[in-house]
Chain A
Amino acid sequence: MTALTIAGGRIIDPANAVDAQQDLHLRDGRVLAVGPAPAGFQAETRIDAHGRWILPGLIDLCARPVPDLPRELRAAAAGGVTSLCVPPEVGPCIDTPAVAERLLEQARRAGSTWVHPVGALTRALAGEQLAELAALQDAGCVAVSPGADTIADSRTLRQALAYAASHDLLVMLSPRDPWLHRHGCAHEGATSTRLGLPAIPGIAESIGLARDLALVELTGVRAHFCRISSALSLPLLQQARARGLPVTANVAVHHLHLCDTDLAAFDTLCRVDPPLRGAADRDALREAIGQGTIEAVCSDHHPLGADAKRMPFPQAASGMAGLETLLPLTLAAVWEGRMSLERAIAGLTIGPAQILGLPLGTLTAGAAADLCIVDPEQRWTPDATTLVSSGHNTPFLGRSLRGRVTHTLLGGRIVHRLDAPPRDAP
């Protein structure tokens, strides 16, 4: 498939401020032209995209493609995700070039989504000895990270950030005060009080963030803050940016939709880390996407078997499957008028691409032909028959969502096509 035309769709490409019904022509895995076909171009394949949206392929800054990598990468493609970052704590810890290269090779063989490993900042993520960061970078790691936890010892973290800065590495941090964070399983508020759940206050995040920002300022490292969940963190991010610090942030899509009241009577599907916070936090996070305080939305995909959630709430595992609901849930905030379509799509495409410093997330002529075609009107229900991922651990299971990916193209190759959707084109 070397020449392909996607005809009649609405191209939404926030990187180029494009939102228009135009044809898209692809050749040899790249975008050839937007609009009229160049002279002499003969499409071998034509996809009719009337009534559909054409988006740059989604870029997910945090997804755990486990336990079955090919299957989870197919799930990514089904969700329109063409690039995903794998955090270092997933599978065998990504603390050596060999582990990173093996993951990349497995992903290449699976062939449905680009995988970008995030290397471990310290060996075995133990927070003690530096990993070979430059070697990890050479092996293809797009960033390094202390993993889902932080490094409690500020001196160690300072050294690690300084070393990462000297190699111009991006560091992905999950800001938290480990002592305020570690004993809890729910947001500290009226719900945790009523349910008697050990709680994690919002300041567990903002205290950690304040410390990390001070270290970023000291070391000059480029830092990306993952899964911001508390409204208390937002002014700190704004102030840091105003002072010119090279910092960016993402939010997990479930934090844009759910809050602590969704725990209801101990719904373990709603146990995530950081925890679902208050309604005011959720609203502030949506606003922060709209204002650009937070540049990216990630799935924080974490497929878990049923047994991991069949426990009393404090003992249940944290995590939610999210690759295939990433786009419809982000769009739900648009349908509800909480953010503009452009900001929402930017947060899934050019926003994360710029964070990673990769030439992705746009449909400019010459760019890689990673894209997805979306039926914005199609309603569908995530369940065992519709989800590709092995993880059905999502409270959105059985809930009707609007907006569905019908095709995903990776380097101009169709890697996902919804088989029997209404109005599908060949």
Chain B
Amino acid sequence: MMRPNPPDAPPLRHLLTTDGLSRPQIVSILDLAESFLPVGERAVKKVPLLRGKTVVNLFFEPSTRTRMTFELAAKRLSADVLNLEVGNSSTRKGETLLDTLQNLEAMQMDMLVVRHAESGAADFFARHAAPHVSVLNAGDGRHAHPTQALLDMFTIRRHKRDFTQLAVAIVGDVAHSRVARSQIHALRILGVPDIRVVAPRTLLPTAIESLGVRVFARLEPALRDCDVVIALRLQRERMQGTQLPSETEYFRHYGLDPARLTLARPDAIVMHPGPINRNVEIASAVADGPQSVILEQVTNGIAVRMAVMALTLGQAPARSGTA
């Protein structure tokens, strides 16, 4: 079976999913990101690694945080950045995705960062891209959002040194979440022995157990003795159909509030891929509380995206033995 990221091919050309990455591949990205973290704290927040390279952010779905952090990451690596927010793909009448890709290639881009509402869109671009173009998946449908998962791993590693001792709970709409899928793969690859997902069954894919997670229908037992709690964003449109009756009922049973958080380990960290719905999936007191690392995730996202860009364009600096 063809896998996008063969584990024995360490020079990563594209990053489409965390599924199938090897542990050393992930660790090398996290290590490199560690070395980029201080760049953001300097007066001159730039390194010249991608000078002369052209990075295109092609977003078919609205995004603020992800697009901005990709843009900042590229700029801090001294690349030239082009942002294309084309909104809904159906509004681009006439021009197919392939036409768009070929036009961008004609403009001599080196890297395409793509977000699209359909699962498989990033694989599509990677399959058809010219040999010198790297494709980074900035989120495709419900499939994958690998850089988000990697920045989450990076954030966890800064707080918890040993992945093989962790219990991680992912709370919320796993069914529609590319973030959750990519997190689950990454956590497994890094050796996390206890990955829990918790949501009403309407928000879980049928075969979620096949990804190697334990399924909980109720929040309290899922949180018990957890080291990391990840709340997922709940899309408002879920309340319009038959998936959930109301925000109130969801928050009452699955909302992460201070009382429930006490079930987790005292040093547990709370994460969220953002943007948060206050008092829907997470109480303000938790989001803004001492255990929250949500804003740190955003900062780390820049360093991790810099690392992925540098590695896929083959411009990683010689490493000096970061652990």
Contacts and interface: CB of A to CB of B under 8 A. Distances in A.
Interface string A170-204: 00000000000000000011101111111101000
Nearest to A278: B207
**B: contact size bracket:** 20 to 34
3 closest residue pairs by CB, A with B: A196-B142, A266-B120, A196-B143
B96 interface: yes
16 contacts: A189-B210, A190-B210, A192-B207, A193-B208, A193-B210, A195-B120, A198-B142, A199-B206, A265-B123, A266-B119, A310-B96, A312-B97, A312-B123, A313-B119, A314-B119, A315-B118
Interface string A99-126: 0000000000000000000000000000
A190 B207 contact: yes
A17 interface: no
Interface of B: 1-4, 16, 19, 96-98, 116, 118-121, 123-124, 127-128, 140-144, 178, 181, 205-208, 210-211
A239 B213 CA distance: 38
B243 to A, nearest CB: 13
A314 B207 contact: no
A57 B13 CA distance: 50
B119 A197 contact: yes
A199 B141 CA distance: 13
Contacts of A314: 118-120, 141
Given A310-B98, A310-B128, A197 B206 contact: no
A194 B127 CA distance: 19
A265 B2 contact: yes
Contacts of B116: 312
Contacts of B143: 195-197
A264 interface: yes
B309 to A, nearest CB: 22
Contacts of B119: 195-197, 266, 312-314
B1 A196 contact: no
A313 to B, nearest CB: 4
A311 B211 contact: no
A267 B96 CA distance: 18
Interface of A: 188-190, 192-199, 201, 261-262, 264-267, 307, 310-315
Contact of A312 (B2, B4, B118): B118
Contacts of A195: 119-120, 143
A194 B2 CA distance: 14
B144 A311 contact: no
A314 B142 CA distance: 11
Contacts of B181: 194, 196
Contacts of B140: 196, 312
Contacts of B118: 312-315
B176 to A, nearest CB: 8
A267 B127 CA distance: 10
B15 to A, nearest CB: 13
Contacts of B120: 195, 197, 265-266, 312-314
B140 to A, nearest CB: 7
B142 A197 contact: yes
Given A266-B124, A315-B118, A194 B19 contact: yes
Nearest to B182: A196
A355 to B, nearest CB: 34
B33 to A, nearest CB: 25
Contacts of A266: 119-120, 123-124
Contacts of B19: 194
A194 B144 CA distance: 9
A190 B1 CA distance: 15
Contacts of B205: 192-193, 199
A189 to B, nearest CB: 5
A310 to B, nearest CB: 6
B241 to A, nearest CB: 11
Given A264-B1, A314-B118, A188 B206 contact: yes
Contacts of B4: 265
A189 B211 CA distance: 11
A280 to B, nearest CB: 13
B143 to A, nearest CB: 4
A193 B96 contact: no
A183 B206 CA distance: 15
Contacts of B178: 196
Contact of B121 (A188, A265, A312): A312
A307 B206 contact: no
A311 B140 CA distance: 13
Given A193-B211, A197-B142, A311 B206 contact: no
A296 to B, nearest CB: 30
A265 B14 CA distance: 13
A120 B142 CA distance: 37
A199 B142 CA distance: 12
A307 B98 CA distance: 9
A190 B19 CA distance: 13
B124 A261 contact: no
**Of B119, B142, B206, which is in contact with the most chain A CB atoms at under 10 Å from its CB?**
B119
Contacts of B98: 310
Given A193-B205, A193-B207, A264-B2, A307 B141 contact: no
Contact of B124 (A190, A193, A311): A311
B144 A265 contact: no
B2 A193 contact: no
Given A189-B207, A192-B205, A194-B19, 11 more contacts: A190-B207, A193-B206, A195-B120, A195-B143, A264-B2, A264-B3, A265-B123, A311-B124, A312-B121, A312-B140, A315-B118
A193 B142 CA distance: 9
A409 B128 CA distance: 43
Contacts of B211: 190, 193-194
Contact of A311 (B97, B141, B142): B97
A282 to B, nearest CB: 15
A32 to B, nearest CB: 52
A197 B206 CA distance: 12
Contacts of B124: 266, 310-313
Nearest to A190: B210
A310 B119 CA distance: 14
B163 to A, nearest CB: 21
Contacts of A193: 205-208, 210-211
